[in-house]
Structure 1
Amino acid sequence: QPAELSLDAGFSQKFTDKFSGGVAGRFVHSNLTGGTSVSGAESKPGIAVAADVSMFYTNKNANWGDKNGTFNFGMNISNIGSKMSYTETAARDFIPANLRLGAAYTMELDDYNDITFTIDGNKLLVPTAPVYDQQDGNTIVSGFSNDVGTATGIVQSFYDAPGIVDFNDDGTYSIVPGSIFREEIREVNLGGGMEYSFSDVFAFRAGYFYEHFSKGNRQFITMGAGMKYTVFTIDLSYLVSTTQQNPLANTLRFTLRMQFSDLSDAGDAVN
């Protein structure tokens, strides 16, 4: 029976009124195959350990003219960890280490109405497979070997895109000018959105996510709304894909949250 298990432990620290950070450790036990044979080889659960590192900056005095404003910026590097394999014979693969940068600006229109704008970027910190010679299949003609360790793979992921290689009938090849840089840029996924909030009770949201077609082609619009009552918040969102095929297309999600820090405030209000 396939099963997934992840155990996390984290620690966060506020350094100043504006800066904070955190670290987390993770143990992963992934049994996707349930012990069945894969390509003639006996399968086994994949096991990995990983860590996350994050930093956060906030400025509650980022005013815009006569409007009060708050600027937030965050960075997260997740899944820095060991490789994983599901068989004894297969090569160990990278787990999806990821770098995420995001910023948000909230403007207080008046005592009851706020509007927030957000933008973020994501990049996988795993090496890109190189392009090999078509004749022998072993010689790298563009890019770098991805048979490297975790630390090397993270650094290498910023410059190892092979670009577009044109092979000629005589066995020679050429790299399309500028294609290496363009591929590196295409490895960054972008997202943006906005939220309107009334009295911190009702909220309406919209966003867009873009991934280049050569890197997965996930492109979609999201719309959502939320309502808060005492310590409970309920959110719903709907995803509209802008590409022809997307497994998440027309997905409706509901989320119910409970804010424990608001329990004392709710008790004071009742008393």
Structure 2
Amino acid sequence: MNKRILFGIILGMMQLGSIHLSLGQFVGQDTTRRVITTAVGFLSITPDARAAGMGEAGAAISPDANSVFWNAGKLAFVENKIGFSLNYTPWLGKIVNDMSLSYLSGYYKLSDDQAVAMELRYFDLGDIDLFNDIGAPTGSVRPREWSIGGTYSRKLSKKLGVGVSLRYIHSNISQNIASLGSDAKAGTSVAGDIAVYYKTDMQMGASTSNIAFAGSISNIGGKISYLNDETKDFLPTNLRLGTAWTANFDAYNTITLSLDFNKLLVPTPPIYETDENGDIVYDPSGNPIISRGKDPNRGVISGMFGSFFDAPDGFKEEIQEVMVSIGAEYWYNDLFAARAGYFYEHQNKGNRKYFTLGLGFRYQVFGIDFAYLIPTEQEHPLAETLRFSLLFNFDG
């Protein structure tokens, strides 16, 4: 799919009322595959190479500047006084060559028990050529999305930490294109995160180890609109639960095993009634009639709590909505790291399945990480995705 077709689909959905409505609402429906979609999906893209190399299982691994994304509660446990990270990911390289995600984050420890941080996320969709109805070029646009936010993290004890984040979101994917009508506009919203982190030491024979648990709900905020106040889409509110076990076998060799579970806290698409031709049936008010499931047009809080029991196929489908990440990280002498992982998403909920590999290097205040994505199927749009991270840590 080239960018002209890709952007045409995006704009077409916007003109029909929502950028993230299922295609099934217009041309029939697949009653088996119900992918949950939201606005500003760039907020869910893993920004850093370290966690990306571990199958995106980063909730409970040791803290660094990128903890702002994974779990703000562990940021107070970071060892250095000051740190920041620069991350870059070329996106959908199998389809286009100028889309990318950039992520900048930094922290400052106010005391041994407190830390503050900031983050800036920028998603560039690249140059997109526009054409009129007869195929003549009419110019080009460069849609982009970004967010900026702050974080506060605090230890409640030597083992327990909590954190909160707040961010402003700006999504200009329409670029106020005239064909969308005068109502087309950039979407904006404000969202917050809440997080908790717990770590305790363990003794295993001659080696020392620790185990950590992390939980967070991210991107809790008002719906976003690209057209008018009547047409709004959910943010990618996400529940993330994770654990990580780290063992120091000796002065040179350390290994970490991590496991994450993620679930979007937004409504599951229902199954609509259809006629003999397979087309959606509408009531006299023009609303599609729901056969199974619940009405997705709900408020944010109702959508969050209802997301645990609104799937048309009940508990079985709710379990299908849980994404699983598993990863491993090996460090030699705190200098060189090797990473591997696996990410799983059910075939009815997006079907993303891929292995990941990563490498890392640390020397004094400087660090660099790489990650590489290997899908389980050929010609996958995420194939060969590379991520790059630069980290700097100072004792102050």
Instruction: Name the CA distance, whole Å, in 2 between partners of 1:78 and 1:7.
Output: 14
Query: What secondary structure, in the 3-state scheme, does the structure 2 residue paired with 1:147 have?
Result: coil
Distance 2:179 2:218 in 1: 29
- C-alpha distance in 1 between matches for 2:356 and 2:167: 30
Shift of 1:38: 5.6
Question: Is 1:181 aligned to residue 315 of structure 2?
Answer: yes
Q: TM-score under structure 2 normalisation? A: 0.59
In the alignment, which residue of structure 2 is the partner of 1:11? 152
Contact 1:41 1:89 in 2 (8 A): no
Aligned residue identity for 2:364 = T
Which whole-Å CA distance do the structure 1 matches of 2:202 and 2:171 have between them?
A: 44
- 1:225 equivalent among 355, 359, 363: 359
Aligned partner of 1:72 in structure 2 is 212
Q: Is residue 95 of structure 1 aligned with residue 229 of structure 2?
A: no
So what's the TM-score if we normalise by structure 1?
Answer: 0.86
Are 1:216 and 2:350 matched, yes or no? yes
Measured in 2, the distance between the counterparts of 1:212 and 1:197 equals: 32
Does the residue aligned with 1:62 lie in a helix, a strand or coil?
strand
Q: Secondary structure at the match of 2:308?
A: coil
Identity %: 44
Alignment of 1:49-68 (within 5 A): 49-59=190-200, 61-68=201-208
Corresponding residue for 1:152? 302
Structure with higher strand content: 1
Greater mean alpha carbon deviation, residues 238-247 or residues 149-158: 238-247
Against the structure 1 CA distance between its residues 82 and 227, is the aligned structure 2 distance closer, same or farther, given a 3 Å change threshold? same
- Alignment partner, residue 29 of structure 1: 170
Higher relative contact order (CA 8 A, sep 6+): 2
Residue 26 of structure 1, CA deviation:
1.2
Letter in 2 for 1:225: L
Measured on the aligned residues, the alpha-carbon RMSD in Å equals 1.6
- Alpha-carbon deviations, 1:88-114, whole Å to 9, x = none? 276211011001111100111112111
Match of residue 246 from structure 1: 380
The alpha-carbon distance between structure 1 residues 73 and 50, as it changes in their structure 2 partners (threshold 3 A), is same
1:247 to partner: Cα distance: 2.1
- Number of aligned residue pairs: give it: 245
The SS at the match of 2:202 is coil
Deviations 1:33-90 (A, max 9, x none): 100146556310101111110111011x222333211111111111100001101276
Q: Does 1:199 align with 2:336?
A: no
Q: Report 1:123-162 matches (<5 A).
A: 123-135=263-275, 136-137=281-282, 138-162=288-312
CA distance in 2, matches of 1:89, 1:114: 53
Gaps of 5+ in 1: 164-179, 265-271
CA distance in 1, matches of 2:189, 2:179: 20
Is the 1:218–1:246 contact (alpha carbons within 8 Å) kept by the matching residues of 2? no
**Alignment counterpart, residue 251 of structure 2, candidates 111, 122, 134:** 111
Partner of 1:12, secondary structure, is strand
Q: Secondary structure at the match of 1:214?
A: helix
In 2, Cα distance between the equivalents of 1:235 and 1:24?
25
What amino acid does structure 1 have at the position aligned with 2:190? V
Amino acid in the other structure paired with 1:5:
W
